[in-house]
Amino acid sequence: MILLELFLTLAKVGLFTFGGGYAMLPLIESEIIDGKGWLTLAEFTDIVAIAEVTPGPIAVNSATFVGYRLGGVPGGVIATLGVIAPSVVIVLLLAALARKLSSANWLVHVRAGMRPAVVGLIAAAVISVGRVAFADARSVIIGIGAAAMIFWVKLHPILVLALSGLAGAVIFSLT
C-alpha cells in the first residue's frame, strides 16, 4: 500500500508543480511532512542536502531518496516514476501543441504570471530548508561563505560544496 501511496503523492507533486526541481521542494515537503507525516523536517532537509550533491535534478533525487527511505529500492523506483510521469505526459502534450499555441496572447500572459510564482516557490523552499540548515551562527557563516564563493568568486558549485563540507568538518569538530 505504501508504494501506491508514494506514487500517487509524488505524481500529485509532479502534476501541480511548475518551474523545476527547486519549485517542487515546498510541495514535496508539504506532502511528505505535513500531509503524510512520513518524515520530519530535519530528515527532509538531510535528504535535500544529499539530493543536491548527487547528479540529477534535485526534485527527482529527493523523491527517490524519500521513496527509498520509506520503501527500499522498490519505493525509490516508484517515487521516481511518480514524480516524473506527469511531467513526461505534460511535455509530450505541450510539444504537440507548441507550434499552434506559441504565439497565443493568453499563453504569453500565463507564462508571465507563472515566472514570478516559480521564484516565490523557490524562495519558500529556501526559507523552509534554511530554518533547519541555519541552526546556529557557524551554519550561517558557512552559508554566507558559500553564497559569496558562488556570486563573487565564481567558484564551481561542486568545489563550493566540497569546501563547505571541509569547513563544516573543521568548524563543527572544534566544539
107 plus 170 within the same structural domain? no
The pLDDT value recorded for residue 169 is 92
128 plus 71 within the same structural domain? yes
33 plus 87 within the same structural domain? yes
Cell of 142: 558557512
Write out the chain's pLDDT in tens, 175 residues.
889 999 999 898 888 776 667 777 888 888 888 889 998 888 888 888 888 878 878 888 888 999 999 999 999 999 999 999 988 888 888 778 776 776 777 877 887 888 898 888 888 888 888 888 888 999 999 999 999 999 999 998 889 989 999 999 999 888 6
The pLDDT value recorded for residue 73 is 95
The pLDDT value recorded for residue 139 is 92
* pTM, entire model: 0.61
The pLDDT value recorded for residue 92 is 87
Q: Which domain holds residue 93?
A: 2-133
110 plus 121 within the same structural domain? yes
Q: Which of 167, 164, 175, 174 is nearest to 53 (CA)?
A: 164
Distance, CA of 2 to CA of 86 (rounded, Å):
19
Judged by DSSP in three states, 103 sits in coil
68 plus 107 within the same structural domain? yes
154 plus 108 within the same structural domain? no
The pLDDT value recorded for residue 19 is 64
Tell me which residue has cell 524562495: 123
